[in-house]
Structure 1
Amino acid sequence: MSAPALASVPGAVHAAVPKAAVHLSPAAIGRAATLALHDELALAPKPGLVSFVDSGSHDDMDAHTFMRSLFALRRYFVRMAELGAQRVPFAELERCGIAAEARMLAATGGINTHRGAIFVLGLLCAATGAAQVQGGQRGAEAIRASLRAHWGQALTARTQRVPTLPGGLAARRFKLRSASQEAALGFPVLFETAVPAWRRAQRRGLDLPRTRLDVFFALMAELDDSNLAHRGGLEGLNFARDHARSFQAAGGAADAHALARAWDIHRAFVARRLSPGGCADMLAAACFLSRVGHEP
């Protein structure tokens, strides 16, 4: 199999929010989140994950499934930005997320395409909405500060719940940092790994597809991806991390052979049925930050 060009897929959207923009409405915030999900889906290669090129390690979903889910979630992201601007209690945000998950499952015939993104991007939309009413701040640091200030305590309390979903159960079994714990800490892997990686890639002159690829591997090298642990145990998680770090050590997405190397890793993941879904959610979150600010 020859290596297709990076993100050489129909419908890929690369435009970011114009730098002249100052205030973002809830509609604009929600649209940025929807487009960020498309950014993540469009990126290929993306080891083990669904793209417009193939279905990765998944037999029950493809890009069409993801597009149905994406369209079903459009209004949800707008609503979360509206609720964030009102700085409602976390319980109200959570009810909105639960309803969105039901719409996703109805649109996909019961397939979980975006449960993690509903949680992560929903919170980021709410935090961005809240930051907008506090002087129109929208940089990455302002969004993180808003999330912690308004819902940090509730997110910390949420980590005490007994997990019931596969990712949470895997995180507990293998003593990993769960998605709930990531949120309670203000998404450290997003803001302390993905954001700096994005900025470095941009300084190196990488285009958006290669920037996203570089960020994806940076995330995979660091994130306690419970989906990887669920599918492959600690061996699968370490397999993914080792490949991500080898990719980085070889020059990352800037290397002349980066795409061929990434496709090789993709095939290795598919052979093992590994799917770094948590990394996909965080990549979409990084794309969202890019779309709502001058830079992540």
Structure 2
Amino acid sequence: MNSRASAIPNVSVDNSPRVRSFQERIAALAERCLRLEIETWPKPGLVSHIDTGSHTDMDADMFRRSASVLRPYFAEMVGAGMRDESMSILRKIGLRAERAMLHATGGVNTHRGAIFGMGLLCAAVGLREGGHADSQTPLGLNVSRRWGKEILAGPRLPDSHGEMAGSRYGAGGARQEAAQGFPCVYQIGLPALHDAARLAPGNPEAVRVQACFALIAVLEDTNLLHRGGLDGLRFAQQAAQDFLDQGGVGHTDWLGRAEAIHQAFIERRLSPGGAADLLAMSLFVMELEEEVVL
């Protein structure tokens, strides 16, 4: 058992009496990070506690219900990692989680990408706790080493918007991101969170906004490709990069500028759901691996 994993419960994880096991504590953190993503505004085109972005079929309360119902499945993922289970076992847990999500939302896909990405990170935490992975190796790299080949070889989801957009435009999507060890989390999300903490000290919501823009600027988000094609993706990436180039949340009028971009995304019905998932995952990794709480 590694010392870092054993210290995790001391890092802003729900330690109330109803949360007892290691698996439940990690799952509580995963749920918290999904909720933090929702409590972030303005995120271009995305649902938040303020508005529904480019969506007419979902709102913040639906996302909160979805995050809550996923919590026991994240705990199962941690346990599966502790037992060093194969990707086929993780996939079965994920499919049950997806059914629970759809039941809670009336058939709306709120967190399919998060079930996949956050679930794998939870399983990687379990690998460490079970002694199957080095405690100093990043969680994403452990995902890649243990399950990367199985992720790429796994069954496709023909009804998935991400799969369809990826096939049409040649984007790797969530599957490739996971198989490569979540480079967007480690190379984009985490550095952006750190940079934004210096730009907007004492304003954790602004920090999350900055990280979201940073992810949108570089990610070949299959959600954007599905809704807007290549033109929509390029518009989104350029708008996000312009925001960052002009100082991001360090600009005196950052909020007005971010809201204007948010409205532009809504007018084009663009929604970078992949970036939203990666934001939550970046928060999760930051808290677990760097013991930084936002």
Q: If the length of structure 2 is used for normalisation, what is the TM-score?
A: 0.88
Alignment of 1:56-205 (within 5 A): 56-134=53-131, 141-158=137-154, 161=156, 163-204=158-199
Alignment partner of 2:138: what SS?
Answer: helix
Contact 1:190 1:285 in 2 (8 A): yes
1:130-152 CA distance string (max 9 Å, x none):
1223399767x521232122212
The corresponding residue for 1:273 is 269
Per the TM alignment, residue 175 of structure 1 is displaced from its structure 2 partner at its CA by: 1.3
Instruction: Give the AA of the match of 2:146.
Output: H
Per the TM alignment, residue 227 of structure 1 is displaced from its structure 2 partner at its CA by: 0.5
Per the TM alignment, residue 290 of structure 1 is displaced from its structure 2 partner at its CA by: 2.4
The corresponding residue for 1:248 is 244
Alignment partner of 1:73: what SS?
Answer: helix
Contact 1:168 1:179 in 2 (8 A): no
Contact 2:11 2:291 in 1 (8 A): no
The corresponding residue for 1:8 is none
The corresponding residue for 1:290 is 286
Contact 2:81 2:130 in 1 (8 A): no
Contact 2:77 2:120 in 1 (8 A): yes
CA 1:241 to 1:295, structure 2 compared with 1: closer, same or farther past 3 Å? farther
Instruction: Give the AA of the match of 1:235.
Output: D
Q: What is the CA–CA distance in structure 2 between the aligned matches of 1:198 and 1:180, rounded to whole Å?
A: 24
1:255-294 CA distance string (max 9 Å, x none):
1111110000111111111111001000010111123233
CA 1:138 to 1:292, structure 2 compared with 1: closer, same or farther past 3 Å? farther
Contact 1:127 1:146 in 2 (8 A): yes
Contact 1:48 1:267 in 2 (8 A): yes
1:109-141 CA distance string (max 9 Å, x none):
0001111110010001001111223399767x5
Q: If the length of structure 1 is used for normalisation, what is the TM-score?
A: 0.87
1:236-263 CA distance string (max 9 Å, x none):
1011001000001011112111111000
Unmatched tracts of structure 2, length 5 or more = 1-9, 16-20
Alignment of 1:24-39 (within 5 A): 25-39=22-36
1:150-185 CA distance string (max 9 Å, x none):
212211323x74744111111110111221111111
Q: What is the CA–CA distance in structure 2 between the aligned matches of 1:145 and 1:279, rounded to whole Å?
A: 20
Unmatched tracts of structure 1, length 5 or more = 1-15
Number of residues of Structure 1 aligned to a counterpart in Structure 2:
276
Q: What is the CA–CA distance in structure 2 between the aligned matches of 1:199 and 1:239, rounded to whole Å?
A: 26
Instruction: Give the AA of the match of 2:95.
Output: I
Cα RMSD between the aligned structures?
2.2
Contact 1:138 1:293 in 2 (8 A): no
Q: What is the CA–CA distance in structure 2 between the aligned matches of 1:200 and 1:289, rounded to whole Å?
A: 16
Contact 2:140 2:178 in 1 (8 A): no
Between 1 and 2, higher relative CO (CA 8 Å, sep ≥ 6) is seen in 1
Per the TM alignment, residue 18 of structure 1 is displaced from its structure 2 partner at its CA by: 5.0
